[in-house]
Every structure is written in structure tokens, then in C-alpha cells.
Chains A and B, each alone.
Chain A
Amino acid sequence: DAGVTQSPTHLIKTRGQQVTLRCSPKSGHDTVSWYQQALGQGPQFIFQYYEEEERQRGNFPDRFSGHQFPNYSSELNVNALLLGDSALYLCASSLALEGTDTQYFGPGTRLTVL
């Protein structure tokens, strides 16, 4: 049973560039959530995708956007990168049944913005 996978593992970009991170959910899951974890902090919710639409969004600017594909995999895009975007980006998958929505996390993508 494959767990949540993310790519790439590490990424180095410069300010102003754009980046795309990818996530494949755990087998049988249909919902993908993205979190940003700055060094020494708890993860912060970015947004969640279900049925190929953004279901809920956290307090992040429009530079952060996403997409979900018919196979439930997802991408996180960040435009006009800032130094403050350097963080571990975590993807979590879950099954959208009311009251049973435990999120399982992938290994993360560590983004460094120079």
C-alpha cells in the first residue's frame, strides 16, 4: 500500500522565480491538503483540494496556487518567490468521508529560496 509521495525532495530557487511541487496521495484517498512548515514551527495550512477544486484556503497570498488532477494527484505552485517562502512543504492525503478524515503526510519538499 503506497503512502503519500512528494517530489522533488529538495529544491533551490532564487527570488522572483516560480516553483511547482508535486504530490501523489495514498492509495484510495481522494483529498489532498498542502501545508507550509517554517523552521522550528508547526505546519500551516495552505489549501485543500477535493474533486479537482480548491475546497478551503488558509491565510496565504494568491502567489500560492494549486491544482488537482483526475487521478487525485496534486501540484502546488508558488510564483514570485520570496526569501520567506523557504520552508518544508508537506502534502497530506485523506478520504473525504464525514467524520473520518485523518490526514496522512508525505515526506515533504524542502524549498530554499536564495
Chain B
Amino acid sequence: AQKVTQAQTEISVVEKEDVTLDCVYETRDTTYYLFWYKQPPSGELVFLIRRNSFDEQNEISGRYSWNFQKSTSSFNFTITASQVVDSAVYFCALSEAKGAQKLVFGQGTRLTINP
């Protein structure tokens, strides 16, 4: 069975600090997808990134970066120079690469950026 663990329930930092959100996953599939979604107070899940299990290259998008390490089954998310607008709940998710590709979510990490 697939499982995603986000051990950090809540993180609070001061604006402009860097912050890393941890994600560890379990799956028996050799091919799968990993995702990060952001959920602001409005409730809508906003897609941030999808990573194929064959692509371990790290990715950077502006202040956001993702570190995928298959050897440790981790897919961590770093926000550089955090801003108040980054405050939200962040979810890591896993899906199989075939069929319905249902998303299995972690419990989420509530990130608060203080001014």
C-alpha cells in the first residue's frame, strides 16, 4: 500500500527565513508520481509540482525548490526567503503511474510566516 508521511505538523518562521518541508513516502511501485499542493485558508488545493519517479533531478522555480531522493524515499520542499503569502497548509502526495492514479496525501504541514 502507498503511504505518505509529513512528520512536521506545524512550522512557524519569520519572514525572509528559508524553510524546508519534509516528505517521506512508501510504495511498492517502481513507477510513480510525487506531488506538492498548497492549501491556503480558502480551501482550494493549488498544484505546485509533479515529479516522475524516474526523474531525480532537483527542480527550482523562483523561491521554491524540490529535492527528490529515491534512495531515502524523500521529496522535500524548500521555500527560500519566505514571505507572509507563503502561509498555508502544504500537502505532499503520491500516485501510481497507471490506472486511476488516485492521490494518496500526507497529513499536511501548516506553515506560518510571521512578519
Contact = CB atoms under 8 A, between A and B. Distances in A.
Interface residues of B, number: 27
A105 B44 contact: yes
B64 interface: no
A110 B52 CA distance: 32
Interface stretch (B14-22, B65-73, B75-83, B92-100): B92-100
Interface in A15-74: 33, 35, 41-45, 48, 50, 55-56, 58
Contacts, number: 61
Name the prevailing secondary structure of the A interface residues: strand
A96 to B, nearest CB: 9
Interface residues of A, number: 27
Interface of A: 33, 35, 41-45, 48, 50, 55-56, 58, 88, 90, 92, 94, 98-99, 101-108, 110
Interface of B: 4, 33, 35, 37, 42-47, 50, 52, 91, 93, 95, 97-108
